[in-house]
Structure 1
Amino acid sequence: MTAGRSGIFLNGSYGVGKTSVLDHVGDRFAEAELPFALFDVDWFHRSWPVAPDDPGNVRVEAENVRAVWNNYQRSGPRTPIIAGIIETVRDQKRYEECLGVKLFVAHLTASPQVATERLRGRYPSTRNEALNWHLERHQALSEYLQAEGPHGLIIDTDDVTPEHVASVVFEQFTSRIHAEHGAEC
């Protein structure tokens, strides 16, 4: 498999397990001795105040992702593996342009009950405002992504471990890459 020609995007609403799965996908790449770079895009746009012409910090996030990706590539080709939210095809194209690769989107889902439990475990009582914000938005975003969001693979994370989800994502991604490269020969 040639590194740096494709990437993985772990997509889904709040509380579906994207960050947990991200770590384990990285572990799978390391075990297979495949070069990779992990991105949790929550940390690429979390700043305040936001620019008046960029209220969602979308431009800031894109510029930050591009800068970090360029730094990673100085060490050689690698596969970007990203956890975040892609709501539209336009969002996917923005990430693909920042990284210069085609993204394989794995859409992670979780029931409202499981997502609520995970979110409650993430936020201590001192962060009730953040917890409530995520709880209020989980279901609407989940429904929107299911109907409108891009997904090449859909995985329900309710009754499986992050390690299992990572294995499924890794196997699907690597088999697709092998198939694409076989077709090029």
Structure 2
Amino acid sequence: MLVLSGTVGVGKTSVGRAISYLLSQRQVPHALIDLDWFETFWTQRKDLEQNEETLHRNISAVWQNYRDAGAERLVFCRIVEANAVLDRLTDAVPGARPIVVWLAAPTDQVLARIRSREAEDPSWFMETSVQVAERVVPEDIADHVIHVGERTPTQIAEEALRLTGWGELR
């Protein structure tokens, strides 16, 4: 399991899609899951732990479906702030060994990306991005840190695949 992490707005989803495309070109059976696709639900429950549990049950079920269909690898996009999150992911994807790649970019670059993509009200995304950047030391969590700079998602994806050893998969 390759886990793409980083603060809000750094490009996890774009790089994940590029990795999926590259793996498809190399005919590597895989699945791409972005946590954002699973956390867009609302209930009357206010218990964040129960909501987190629901997310992980959903991830587990979807991964099993992908696995049954032939996926051998998983690319997962999610902010990972602590090793406990990795433990939950490993529980949701039995047998997986997560390789965490943290995507890093200067705060002003990330905030500009957020402003360009969140037309309605970018304030929550911007505040959360800054908070994550202040609270997380990527080297404490990640196996690899990639500074995205002005590179394209495909260029970053190629580096991520090379760093994780997935670059030579056929």
User: Do these two structures clear the TM 0.5 threshold for a shared fold by scoring above it?
Assistant: yes
How far residue 177 of structure 1 moved from its aligned partner, in angstroms, is 9.2
Report SS of the residue matched to 1:57: helix
Structure 1 residue 168 corresponds to structure 2 residue 168? no
Report SS of the residue matched to 2:99: strand
Q: Tell me, which stretches of 5 or more residues in structure 2 are unaligned?
A: none
Decide whether aligned partners of structure 1 residues 9 and 175 sit closer, same or farther in structure 2, where only a CA change above 3 A counts: closer
The residue aligned with 2:72 is 78
The residue aligned with 1:16 is 10
CA RMSD in angstroms comes to 2.0
Aligned residues of 1:9 and 1:82 also touching (Cα < 8 A): yes
Q: Which amino acid aligns with 1:155?
A: I
Structure 1 residue 146 corresponds to structure 2 residue 146? no
TM-score when normalising by structure 2 = 0.90
The residue aligned with 1:91 is 85
TM-score when normalising by structure 1 = 0.84
Select 1:32's aligned residue among 17, 26, 50.
26
How far residue 146 of structure 1 moved from its aligned partner, in angstroms, is 2.1
Q: Please say which of residues 168-177 and 109-118 is displaced more in the overlay.
A: 168-177
How far residue 56 of structure 1 moved from its aligned partner, in angstroms, is 7.5
How far residue 108 of structure 1 moved from its aligned partner, in angstroms, is 0.5
Distance 1:46 1:56 in 2: 15
Identity of aligned residues (%): 26
Aligned residues: 168
Structure 1 residue 132 corresponds to structure 2 residue 123? yes
Aligned residues of 1:13 and 1:85 also touching (Cα < 8 A): yes
Aligned residues of 1:15 and 1:110 also touching (Cα < 8 A): no
User: Which stretches of structure 1, 4 residues or more, deviate above 6 A after TM superposition?
Assistant: none
Q: Answer with 1 or 2: which has the greater Rg.
A: 1
Distance 1:87 1:107 in 2: 10
Structure 1 residue 109 corresponds to structure 2 residue 104? yes
